[in-house]
Structure 1
Amino acid sequence: MKESILKEICYDCPFCDEEHSIRVKKKISKAKIKDGLVEYEQIVYYCPKEDEEFVPGKIMDENLLRARDAYRTSKGLLTSEEIKKIRGMYGLTQKEFSCLLGWGDVTIGRYEKKLIQDETYDSIMRMIQTNPAYALEMLKKHKEKFEIDRFEQIKTSINNVIRLQGNTLLKIQEIKNAYIEYDVKSDYNGYKLLDIEKINAVIGYFAQYIESLYKVKLMKLLWYADALYFKREGTSMTGLVYKHLPLGAVPIAYNELLYLPAVKVVEEYFDDFISYKICPNEEINLSKFTFEEISVLDEVASYFKNFKTKEIVDYMHNEAAYIETETDQIIPYSLARRLRDFS
């Protein structure tokens, strides 16, 4: 069974009846949820003195939620975190989201903590996520459930989302347009078609776990994640296509990628130039990744986290994928098989 150590903490061990160093581990487990058996990431505590594992009550509840979310994912349903994200788009409490939808006051709270929604309720929540105009329609329909001031605040919030989402959708379409000629699996896209949802999650992952992340460094991290995953699994992680440019491998439509919702870009002004700092805009749901994907992302983030932009650019310049391609040439993924080991 695959597992990894997340950290060590000082904890009151139930086996030793004293506080000492405990390892917090993550491993893949199986659980029976409704009509199926699902794999999920379980967090366990490990006592090295007694060579025994245990799960505190709070962690057990979190593990159960992970198992339910794994089931939801397998059935194409929104996870608890995705439901939180939807109401977070509009700044709603659990009760407010329920009221906006015309449901019972505690319905959303139950979905975020333990209950699994049916397909009908799931579809309605997805409509709120993808169509803010529908959210505005539902708010007006259930106006009597809100205080006047709060109704106006939520209405303003939804209108802001309508404006922002319109810009994001435009950028996503521009990304898709840039990849029209790569609509067949090949060595150029790593035998995977463009997956914008996965790209958004990967960018969000790096923004969340690497401090002082800037535009150029992010582009190198994307390439290393895709290249390392290709080397191990035979396909890219995202379907991005990379060009050989002076600062290393850069994905096609790299500017448009920065408009994806997982991140926000902050301009920082120095003496005579502008830097673009990449900041997380939302909590990343790790259930969007497979164990193999997380392993690659962890390895890339851990190795390059302290590299400055010039250092990671110089490092990439020494890869066979860069040395054996010319400026403006597409970098074939097959060259990633000769990716240097991180050391």
Structure 2
Amino acid sequence: MLKLERKECVNMNNDYLISMVDMDCPCCNKTHSLEQRKRLTQSIVKDETVDYEEIYFLCPLCDEEENEFVPAGLMDENLLRARDSYRQKKSLLTSYEIANIRNYYGLTQNDFSAMLGWGDVTVTRYESKTIQDETYDNIMRMVYENPMFALECIDKHKERFTPEKYARIRKNIANKVEEVGNLYLKKLEINCLYVNYEEENDLNGYKILDIDKLANVIGYFSQFIDTLYKVKLMKLLWYADAIFFRRHGKSMTGLVYKHMPLGALPIAYDEIIHLPTVKVVEELIYDDISYRIRPNKEVNISHFSLEELSVLEVVATKFKNFKSKEIIEYMHKEKAYTDTIPNQVIPYSLAKQLNELR
């Protein structure tokens, strides 16, 4: 049961005008322009207080004690915002995220419920008023993250669809399998290699591995540096994480690095170069095969914070013209390398003694 509890806003900056609307005013029983406003307020959802943005109407002609109202339809929207705030607090999918998952596969609410073997109106309720439990939440997440799982679901419950609708939906899902299936498997491989680093500590820079952030960082370096090879990329990643840790007490990507002959090398180094922002091109250099990292799609800098961009720019600018051998020799002089032994995981705390790049 969700109960609304109106409380004063923290400050006036949290209450602002959205638009002016001509309508019948129940406060003064006149038709005139009303202020549609939004403010930060609180509600109690499942016995927990959550913050959310409430939309309401204000009559400028009435006294301050009775100059606000919320139509029934708008009340439902406000209640949904409160529930979604609770969902975010509990790391559950919001109503909008659930809708985005089914739209990703071109499904109606009833289609999504049928595909998962649930009651006809289950998804409709999740998108309008009911808060899902963790088990159902995990199933919906898996449908989005793993198109193969979605394909298994539609095949398992095909009897709930007409042959024509089943064929259409299955084709949509199969296209997603072809489009992103390999990425899902690659992420799975990487996560498996990081199974022992699922808690924040000094070895991962107090950050759980963020594969999407990592993909964007690799993409950024590939766009900024034309002659980027695998060995050099690994050192750029270490410097980006180490400098960010030194400045902010947390790594940028959550990668874990080991002391190896060629310098700091992240766990899953072979797998991370196959993330979708880059492509690997094999080149023959003096009878040796080298792996050149080329951009695969443009990385939007809006994916980074200003603090992240500052570090990435420093690292890319410093090492842009370094050859792989030069950056290896440079890294070998760092205390993080000299104070660790072969195959040892390099603690991020040693990055505090890193010479800041200029």
TM-score, normalised relative to structure 1: 0.57
Counterpart of 2:348 (choices 333, 337, 341) is: 333
**1:329 to partner: Cα distance:** 0.6
**1:280 to partner: Cα distance:** 1.2
Corresponding residue of 1:188: 203
Corresponding residue of 1:202: 217
Q: 1:20-169 maps to which residues of 2 (within 5 A)? A: 35=38, 130=145, 162-163=177-178, 165-169=180-184
Q: 1:208-287 maps to which residues of 2 (within 5 A)? A: 208-287=223-302
Q: Specify the structure having the higher radius of gyration (Cα).
A: 2
Change in CA separation of 1:166 and 1:132 when aligned onto 2, cut-off 3 Å: closer
What is the identity, as a one-letter code, of the residue corresponding to 1:215? K
Corresponding residue of 1:319: 334
Q: Give me the identity figure in percent.
A: 54
Corresponding residue of 1:293: 308
**1:101 to partner: Cα distance:** 7.8
Distance across 2 between alignment mates of 1:336 and 1:232:
10
> Deviations along 1:67-109, whole A, 9 cap, x unmatched?
xxxxxxxx999xxxxx9xxxxxxxxxxxxx99x789xxxxxxx
**1:336 to partner: Cα distance:** 0.4
Query: Gapped runs of 5+ residues in structure 1?
Result: 1-31, 38-74, 78-82, 84-96, 103-118, 121-125, 145-154
**1:167 to partner: Cα distance:** 2.6
8 Å Cα contact 2:146-2:181 kept in structure 1:
no
**1:210 to partner: Cα distance:** 1.2
Distance across 1 between alignment mates of 2:184 and 2:39:
36
Distance across 1 between alignment mates of 2:143 and 2:199:
33
What is the identity, as a one-letter code, of the residue corresponding to 1:233? H
Change in CA separation of 1:307 and 1:271 when aligned onto 2, cut-off 3 Å: closer
RMSD of aligned Cα (Å): 4.3
Query: Gapped runs of 5+ residues in structure 2?
Result: 1-15, 19-36, 41-87, 95-99, 109-125, 128-140, 155-163
Change in CA separation of 1:211 and 1:161 when aligned onto 2, cut-off 3 Å: farther
SS at match of 1:181: coil
> Deviations along 1:121-175, whole A, 9 cap, x unmatched?
xxxxx9997566779x9xx86999xxxxxxxxxx7x9857524633322221121
What is the identity, as a one-letter code, of the residue corresponding to 2:294? C
Change in CA separation of 1:306 and 1:101 when aligned onto 2, cut-off 3 Å: farther
SS at match of 1:239: coil
8 Å Cα contact 2:243-2:356 kept in structure 1:
no
Distance across 1 between alignment mates of 2:189 and 2:251:
21
SS at match of 1:240: coil
What is the identity, as a one-letter code, of the residue corresponding to 2:215? N
TM-score, normalised relative to structure 2: 0.55
What is the identity, as a one-letter code, of the residue corresponding to 1:336? A
Distance across 2 between alignment mates of 1:301 and 1:36:
43
Change in CA separation of 1:259 and 1:333 when aligned onto 2, cut-off 3 Å: same
**1:229 to partner: Cα distance:** 0.2
SS at match of 2:196: helix
Change in CA separation of 1:160 and 1:258 when aligned onto 2, cut-off 3 Å: farther
Question: How many residue pairs are counted as aligned between the two chains?
Answer: 239
SS at match of 1:329: coil
Distance across 2 between alignment mates of 1:255 and 1:226:
18
